[in-house]
Amino acid sequence: MSVLDSIRSQFVPIHREGYPLIGLFALVTLVLFWLLKPLGVIAAALTVWCIWFFRDPERVTPLREGIVVAPADGRVCSIVKAAPPRELGLPESAVTRISIFMNVFDCHVNRSPIGGRIENIVYTPGAFISADLDKASESNERNSFVIGTPHGRLAVVQIAGLVARRIVCFTRQGAIVGAGERIGMIRFGSRVDVYLPAGAQSLVGEGQTAIAGETVIADLRAEAIEPAFRVN
């Protein structure tokens, strides 16, 4: 390993989505230092926060058939029975919904909770109320995925929050994704909902901290579920 590679390995990678905004923060910092040093110090702190916000660390995803991993870093804010968003065309019966709230200090790169095929992606405009409120699932701007798996269909919904103004999608309809694979991000504070297939068992509790791509949040093998998609 070269000296440069060794130095790089000591730093957490930054996602490419963050470079334009980090550059803007840095430019404003230089201008403010020139105009008024105290404001420049504040801007420098905000620039460091912006760099931290767009970090994109590697994750080690558990590999076992039927397990569901967290799609986002953050706090499990609710586990309830709820019907998936109507725009996804899934059955309207209530299933287990696990919601993970990301504050402005959490990593905001979202990952696929399970391996399978992206059967549908639907973007829905909406409001920007606080993402930790229950009604945010229906009222806020969101981007929704339906993932077909050997154990049923699972829905993942990226929900914009009070200060979030951009939802980014990294995948496409029809794509095959692996568990823990990056599928998008939201900036800034926001929330991700996972709607489990009927019969799945939740393995987390409200208030628990989740790590995207690593924390196991559910098991789809609790009951025999008719496969919606099989990976050859």
CB 176 within 8 A of CB 60: no
User: Encoding tokens for residue 195?
Assistant: 């709607």
Q: Give which of 155, 120, 162, 116 is closest to 140, Cα–Cα.
A: 162
The number of angstroms, rounded, from the C-alpha of 107 to the middle of its chain's C-alpha atoms is 9
Residue 57 makes CB contacts below 8 A (sequence gap 6+) with 12, 13, 107
The two counts, helices (H) then strands (E), for the chain are 4, 14
pLDDT band at 72; cut points 50, 70, 90: very high
pTM assigned to the model: 0.82
Residue 31 makes CB contacts below 8 A (sequence gap 6+) with none
Q: Give which of 83, 81, 9, 21 is closest to 46, Cα–Cα.
A: 21
User: Cα–Cα distance between 134 and 139 in angstroms, integer?
Assistant: 9
Q: What average pLDDT is seen over the chain?
A: 83
Tell me the per-residue pLDDT of 6-15, one tens digit each, with 9 for 90 and over: 444 446 677 7
User: Cα–Cα distance between 143 and 6 in angstroms, integer?
Assistant: 38
pLDDT of residue 177 exceeding 90: yes
Percentage, residues of the chain above pLDDT 70: 83
User: Encoding tokens for residue 38?
Assistant: 């105290």
Does residue 93 have an active-site annotation? no
User: Cα–Cα distance between 149 and 178 in angstroms, integer?
Assistant: 11
